[in-house]
Amino acid sequence: MHAPLILAASRPATPLAGTIRVPGDKSISHRALMFGALAVGETRISGLLEGEDVLRTAAAMRALGAEMVQDGPGAWRVAGRGVGGLVEPADVLDMGNSGTAARLLTGILASHPFFSVLTGDASLRSRPMQRVTDPLAACGARFSARAGGRLPLAVEGAHDPLPLEYRVPMPSAQVKSALLLCGLNAPGLTRIEEIEATRDHSENMLRHFGAKVTVEADGAARIITLVGQPDLRAADVVVPGDPSSAAFLVVAALLVPGSLVRIEGVGLNTLRCGLFATLREMGAALSVENERVEGGEPVGDLVAAHSALRAVEVPWERAPSMIDEYPILAVAAAFAEGTTRMRGLKELRVKESDRLTATAALLSANGARVNIQGDDLIVEGGHKPAGGATVQTHMDHRIAMSALVLGLATPAPVAVDDAAFIDTSFPGFVSLLNGLVAGPAPIAAP
């Protein structure tokens, strides 16, 4: 257990202004370490996110026999063992707070012929794993877990893994990626159908390391086919800035009068940028400069300025491209003119917390009008929140950051009961945001 880190955010004395970089993309960082461990040779990674979630992945791959060396901030070397070459870990693999790490690693372990156990913190142990273990069992792996498929999870990997064919019933890049990682060590073709496109970092990185992956559109659905047992070869990876982290700085700039913030080197994968499209629909002064491609991923510099926002309806089809950004979008919606409706947010109920309920609670506690109808979140922006509450974060880093951004725009400060978990995805968030203000730090201990 740790001592709670209680922080409060107040209206800054000056606008937010400056040019900054956010930490590396968490999704790509996890995958760079995993694919590097499964490749032959030495992979060099730059810009790796060194938050707690990603460091858990590095520790797990090291425990499975890969060599992980940190050369400097964000600079790592990974000496891989080749597809199928990982070894049985000597101890339990503790994935901390990271659902991405736990689910993707389960896919890897399922097709390796040894015994392993995954666990995590209290939040991760409450999250469902059956969405990956049920389809992975078809490769020949056996799983034992607590009720509801919850961690700790024991994995007996398949000795002769079979390729997988599966239609993912909900939009989930984690499930898709876990199945592809399992299929790497199975002969033949693994074929995954997703009902709508989700972030494709796994497909991009598989190609980058030499795997043969094809993607076919079938209406709104996509069919991904992987040729099993490829000779993955080491390939250097440049990790772009995380768009999910940039989202908090963008919304802060939009809400604080007079602000102008440039965020350099942000990943702009179209399957990750639903929030930015939504904010532009709301009237945000948000532009992209210096667009380029790095390591197979589109990258650019985001420029955000204070804006008068208007309400929109966010369609459910957009959810996979912005699933982690709904809490901070809800904060922006609370200051927009009109009523914003965000549709189809069922997936938010199984994140680090029940994010749908937690997002509504953080706004309601601070005076915004918000309600949940089914899987839709509705924010009435004509009644701007006043602040003054302490938000229960439920060990969820995105709820904590969203609440602190809210406090920058409300008349009274907004506090959070524990900000320690922010470092799992965005180390340095508080100091980075405070550094954009010329006057006293707006985020500090109350």
CATH number of the domain at 104, please.
Answer: 3.65.10.10
> Do residues 48 and 149 share a domain?
yes
> Do residues 12 and 101 share a domain?
no
With respect to residue 119, please indicate whether it lies within any of the assigned structural domains. yes
pLDDT at res. 444: 97
> Do residues 112 and 12 share a domain?
no
> Do residues 312 and 432 share a domain?
yes
Identify whether 25 is a catalytic site residue: no
Angle, CA 41 vertex, CA 37 and CA 45 arms, to 5°: 60
> Do residues 14 and 48 share a domain?
no
With respect to residue 238, please indicate whether it lies within any of the assigned structural domains. no
pLDDT at res. 112: 98
Which residues, in sequence order, are CB contacts of 373 under 8 Å at separation 6+? none
* Domain closes at, from 137, 153, 183: 183
Residues in a beta bridge with 94: 119
What is the tally of structural domains in the chain? 2
> Do residues 12 and 99 share a domain?
no
Structural domain containing residue 413: 7-19+272-279+308-444
pLDDT at res. 349: 83
Q: What is the biggest distance separating any 2 CA atoms in the chain, rounded to whole angstroms?
A: 63
All residue ranges of the chain with pLDDT < 70 are: 1, 295, 350-353
With respect to residue 440, please indicate whether it lies within any of the assigned structural domains. yes
With respect to residue 233, please indicate whether it lies within any of the assigned structural domains. no
> Do residues 336 and 384 share a domain?
yes
> Do residues 97 and 68 share a domain?
yes
> Do residues 67 and 13 share a domain?
no
> Do residues 64 and 151 share a domain?
yes
Distance of alpha carbon 53 from its chain centroid, rounded? 10
pLDDT at res. 123: 87
pLDDT at res. 347: 83
Residues in a beta bridge with 155: 116, 143
pLDDT at res. 1: 60
With respect to residue 68, please indicate whether it lies within any of the assigned structural domains. yes
> Do residues 72 and 114 share a domain?
yes
- Would you put residue 229 in left (φ > 0), alpha (ψ -120 to 50) or beta? left
Q: How far is the C-alpha of 365 from the C-alpha of 213, rounded, in Å?
A: 47
With respect to residue 199, please indicate whether it lies within any of the assigned structural domains. no
Catalytically annotated residue among 324, 396, 418, 423: 324
> Do residues 158 and 38 share a domain?
yes
With respect to residue 245, please indicate whether it lies within any of the assigned structural domains. no
pLDDT tens digits along 373-408: 999 999 999 888 999 999 999 989 999 999 999 999
With respect to residue 400, please indicate whether it lies within any of the assigned structural domains. yes
Q: How far is the C-alpha of 446 from the C-alpha of 437, rounded, in Å?
A: 18
* Domain closes at, from 125, 155, 183: 183
Residue written as token pair 């602000």: 259
Residues in a beta bridge with 45: 76, 237
- Would you put residue 188 in left (φ > 0), alpha (ψ -120 to 50) or beta? left
Contact 176, 169 (CB under 8 A): no
pLDDT at res. 267: 96
* Domain closes at, from 120, 153, 183: 183
